[in-house]
């Protein structure tokens, strides 16, 4: 009986020990990825609250431009700071050609080149922000997939151990051992061992220390006046409703509402989880890492939509 217990214990230790040993080795290899992010290429944005544009509803915009440019395009134009250029361009385009036609045409061409340059620069900056968010999302997903692999590996070992123990117990109690008290004891021992393995499968949840000194989600959640994670015009776009009124909401508010609606962030989020998601990091579970990656993906998607608005603006300028 003692030898049988020893054999069962050896199976349990073998199932767990080999998996834990490999995890320790891998942790040494991926330690830098867990602590240090290389997604940001020193793009720390610095601007003051005074530099933020005033809401479009307060801006003094030429009535002609308001009638010839859609509200959405006017909003994105105001966001990237080219409304004054558009007003000048529209006036030149609608004026009759004077005697100095060449000069007038050159002025129109120069204005259009400057407008196009501003739009292209804004598009490049949106791409830069999106690439950082996408990189951070992939970094988070990579660690989550690593943990899932370890969980799956341990679950396979535990399942195999349960099969071996169950088969051994069935053989031992199926008539091989004639001593009835001993046979009953072996049956109980194997049952306890199988239950133990099942219990371990139930709580097979890996965690990893995952850190993020630069945290774009923190700015989305807290909504500071200025941000070091987003350039000025992107931060204005995220925080300013397209239309005035109580019913309108900012893109940042919409993102947070979706987090809460779909259960990614609870209304009564604990201080520990707030610090985990929106602080500098800590001990994450696999599900929490997946959730964090999904949150980054959602922010990235909303920012990428700016490119559609920039393209629509460029098309409307062609009609001025």
Closest by CA to 85, choosing from 104, 108, 53, is 108
CB atoms within 10 A of CB 271: 8
| Residue 26 to residue 30: CA distance in whole angstroms | 6
In whole angstroms, how large is the CA radius of gyration of the chain?
31
Structural domain includes residue 283? yes
Residue 238: CB atoms within 10 A of its CB come to 23
Q: What's the total number of domains in the chain?
A: 1
Q: Tens-digit pLDDT profile for the chain (320 aa)?
A: 444 445 444 544 454 444 443 344 355 556 666 777 888 766 789 999 999 998 888 888 888 898 999 999 999 999 999 999 999 999 998 887 666 778 888 999 999 999 999 999 999 999 999 999 999 999 999 999 989 888 777 666 666 666 666 666 665 565 555 555 655 565 566 666 655 655 565 455 788 899 999 999 999 999 999 999 999 999 999 999 987 665 579 999 999 999 999 989 987 788 999 999 999 999 999 999 999 999 999 999 999 999 999 999 999 999 88
Query: What's the pLDDT at 22?
Result: 39
Q: How many C-alpha atoms does 150 have within 13 Å on its Cβ side?
A: 24
What was the pLDDT predicted at 13?
47
309's CB contacts (< 8 A; 6+ apart) are 72, 73, 75, 76
List Cβ neighbours of 58 (8 Å cut-off, separation of 6 or more). none
134-166 confidence digits (pLDDT tens): 999 999 999 999 898 887 776 666 666 666 666
Q: Is residue 252 a part of any domain in this protein?
A: yes
User: In this structure, is residue 307 part of a structural domain?
Assistant: yes
Closest C-alpha among 138, 140, 135, 188 to residue 165: 188
pLDDT tens for 231-263 read 999 999 999 998 766 557 999 999 999 999 998
The pLDDT assigned to 105 comes to 87
The pTM of the full predicted model, rounded to 2 decimals, is: 0.80
Residue 113 lies in a domain: no
Tell me, yes or no, whether 54 lies in a domain: no
The closest alpha carbon to 167, from 184, 142, 151, 186, belongs to: 186
Q: Is residue 287 part of a domain?
A: yes
Residue 217 placed within a domain: yes
In a domain, 51, yes or no: no
- Residue 137: give the domain boundaries: 36-46+127-145+207-317
Q: What is d(CA 119, CA 68) in angstroms, rounded to the nearest whole number?
A: 18
- Containing 284, the helix (H) or strand (E) segment is strand 281-285
């Amino acid at each position: 009986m003692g030898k049988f217990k020893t054999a069962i214990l050896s199976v349990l230790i073998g199932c767990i020990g080999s998996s834990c040993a490999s995890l320790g080795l891998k942790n040494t290899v991926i330690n830098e990825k867990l602590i240090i992010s290389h997604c940001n290429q020193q793009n720390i944005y610095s601007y003051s609250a005074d530099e933020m544009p005033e809401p479009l509803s307060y801006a003094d915009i030429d009535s002609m431009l308001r009638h010839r440019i859609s509200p959405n395009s006017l909003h994105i134009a105001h966001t990237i700071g080219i409304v004054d250029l558009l007003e000048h361009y529209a006036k030149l385009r609608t004026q009759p050609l004077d005697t100095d036609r060449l000069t007038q045409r050159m002025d129109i061409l120069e204005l259009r080149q400057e407008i196009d340059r501003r739009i292209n620069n804004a598009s490049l900056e949106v791409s830069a922000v999106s690439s950082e968010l996408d990189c951070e999302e992939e970094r988070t997903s990579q660690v989550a997939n690593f943990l899932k692999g370890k969980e799956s590996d341990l679950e396979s070992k535990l399942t195999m151990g349960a099969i071996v123990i169950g088969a051994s117990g069935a053989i031992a109690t199926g008539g091989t051992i004639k001593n009835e008290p001993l046979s009953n004891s072996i049956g109980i021992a194997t049952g306890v061992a199988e239950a133990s393995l099942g219990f371990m499968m139930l709580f097979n949840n890996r965690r990893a220390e995952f850190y993020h000194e630069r945290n774009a989600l923190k700015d989305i959640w807290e909504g500071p006046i200025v941000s070091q994670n987003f350039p000025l015009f992107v931060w204005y776009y995220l925080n300013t409703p397209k239309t005035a009124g109580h019913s309108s909401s900012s893109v940042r508010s919409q993102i947070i509402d979706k987090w809460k609606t779909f259960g990614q962030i609870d209304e009564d989020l604990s201080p520990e989880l707030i610090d985990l998601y929106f602080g500098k990091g800590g001990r994450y579970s696999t599900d929490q890492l997946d959730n964090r990656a999904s949150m980054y993906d959602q922010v990235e998607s909303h920012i990428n939509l700016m490119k559609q608005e920039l393209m629509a603006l460029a098309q409307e300028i062609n009609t001025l």
